[in-house]
């Protein structure tokens, strides 16, 4: 059997996830199973999409087609997204029951851990304030104690949340994590259910948001929850913008009710030039780079081939999206 994999690229999406001929050729060289068992086609913005869907068994796409999919893609059994978050695909009512959806969780860990190391150290050293001073041509020393022993709260405990916890532990912090269930193995010093969030927010020197965006988590750190933070606390968001009330955060950063923030995700992205967020004080904005490696497509294809091997052996796939949880 030769199966058909179609890779559908979106020029509107991140160029990091664009899989071109060169990536596929390299993957075919790296993976004999891919060369032997799979015919690969590549499309851009729908140019060959319907012809490809007519015969595709597998689809890799940033934004899979959602309309009338059973009829358009009668053989399709597996869709792989190029990103880790699938909030843009919710609700999943468009997904036929016999098609499995997997996300690209996993390759983000190492870069994410590094970004969290940097963000925690930057917030501890009050770098967001220091770069504001630089722009204002003000030389005024701000001395800060070493970071060790402080408390880092990580919201979310998937691959990215656990990477954030590892970063905190590497710096000698106490790492408290919250997850939906509040149970499971992992590197955190304490793991609590999301319902405990209000009680742990006032303890945190740093908060890292690393939870999937779903209808349940939207506005998770709204105005009232943000007000529970210490005025010296530092906030990091490496997940999705709508998890946090940025308007409330901006007010707190201006008023001194929040120490600083490092925000890697915005809404929309690219953030428009007229957004008020650009000039909020004590805030470093980064352009959604926290968890991504320039070797992204190669890592994605390697992980997909590993899952293909499981598929061919009728073993359970990794990173299957749970339709009821939405991530």
Give the residues lining the site for a second copy (CB under 8 A): 14-16, 110-111, 114-115, 117-118, 121-122, 124-125, 127, 130-131, 133-135, 137-148, 170-171, 266, 269-271, 273-275, 278, 284-289, 292-296
Rounded to 10°, the helix 109-124/127-135 angle is 70
Nearer to a second copy, 54 or 285 (CB): 285
CB of 129 to a second copy, least distance (A): 11
Give 293 or 302: the residue with its C-beta nearer to a second copy. 293
Residues labelled as active-site residues: 240, 269, 288
- Terminal Cα distance for the chain, rounded: 32
- Show Cβ contacts of residue 219 under 8 Å, excluding neighbours closer than 6 positions: 242, 243, 244, 245
Instruction: Please provide residue 284's backbone torsions phi and psi, each rounded to the nearest 5 degrees.
Output: -105, 125
| Radius of gyration over every alpha carbon of the chain, rounded to an integer in angstroms | 21
Q: How far is the CB of 123 from a second copy (least distance, A)?
A: 10
Q: How far is the CB of 222 from a second copy (least distance, A)?
A: 25
Whether residue 161 contacts residue 178, with contact meaning beta carbons closer than 8 Å, is answered with no
Rounded to whole angstroms, how far apart are CA atoms 263 and 97? 37
Question: What residues have CB less than 8 Å from 292, skipping those under 6 apart?
Answer: 14, 16, 108, 111
On whether the CB atoms of residues 6 and 52 are closer than 8 A, the answer is yes
Report, in Å, the least distance between residue 317 CB and a second copy: 26
User: Strand, helix or coil at 9?
Assistant: strand
Pick 2 or 141: Cβ nearer a second copy = 141
Provide, rounded to whole angstroms, the least separation between the CB of residue 107 and a second copy: 11
Residue 215 vs 294, nearer CB to a second copy? 294
Which residues are registered as beta bridge partners of 8? 43, 61
Strand-by-strand arrangement of the 190-193 sheet: 190-193, 174-179, 151-155, 206-209, 234-237, 260-263, 283-285
Sorted by sequence, the CB contacts under 8 Å of residue 109 that are 6+ apart come out as 159, 160, 162, 163, 291
Q: Which is nearer to a second copy, 249 or 284 (CB)?
A: 284
Angle (CA) 32-35-38 rounded to 5° is: 125
For residues 89 and 66, the answer to whether their CB atoms sit within 8 Å is yes
Whichever of 36 and 143 has its CB closer to a second copy, that residue is 143
């Amino acid at each position: 059997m030769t199966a058909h994999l179609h890779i559908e690229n979106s020029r509107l999406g991140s160029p990091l996830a664009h899989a071109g001929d060169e990536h596929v050729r390299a993957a075919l060289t790296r993976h004999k199973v891919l060369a032997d068992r799979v015919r690969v086609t590549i499309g851009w913005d729908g140019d060959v999409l319907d012809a490809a869907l007519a015969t595709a068994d597998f689809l890799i796409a940033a934004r899979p087609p959602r309309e009338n999919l059973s009829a358009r893609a009668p053989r399709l059994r597996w869709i792989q997204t190029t990103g880790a978050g699938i909030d843009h695909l919710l609700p999943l009512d468009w997904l036929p029951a016999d098609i499995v959806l997997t996300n690209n969780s996993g390759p983000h860990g190492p870069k994410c851990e590094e970004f969290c190391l940097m963000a925690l150290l930057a917030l501890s050293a009050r770098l967001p304030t220091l770069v504001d001073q630089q722009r204002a041509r003000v030389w005024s020393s701000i001395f800060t104690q070493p970071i060790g022993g402080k408390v880092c709260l990580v919201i979310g405990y998937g691959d990215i949340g656990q990477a954030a916890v590892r970063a905190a532990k590497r710096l000698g912090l106490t790492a408290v994590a919250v997850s939906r269930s509040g149970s499971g193995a992992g590197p955190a010093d304490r793991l609590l259910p999301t319902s405990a969030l209000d009680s742990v927010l006032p303890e945190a020197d740093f908060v890292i948001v690393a939870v999937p965006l779903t209808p349940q988590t939207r506005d998770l750190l709204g105005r009232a929850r943000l007000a529970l933070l210490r005025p010296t606390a530092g906030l990091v968001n490496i997940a999705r913008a709508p998890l946090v009330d940025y308007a409330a955060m901006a007010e707190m950063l201006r008023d001194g009710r929040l120490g600083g923030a490092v925000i890697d995700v915005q809404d929309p992205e690219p953030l428009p030039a007229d957004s008020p967020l650009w000039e909020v004080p004590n805030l470093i904005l980064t352009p959604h780079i926290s968890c991504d490696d320039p070797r992204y497509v190669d890592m994605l294809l390697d992980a997909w081939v590993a899952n293909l091997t499981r598929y061919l052996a009728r073993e359970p796939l990794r990173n299957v999206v749970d339709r009821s949880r939405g991530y």
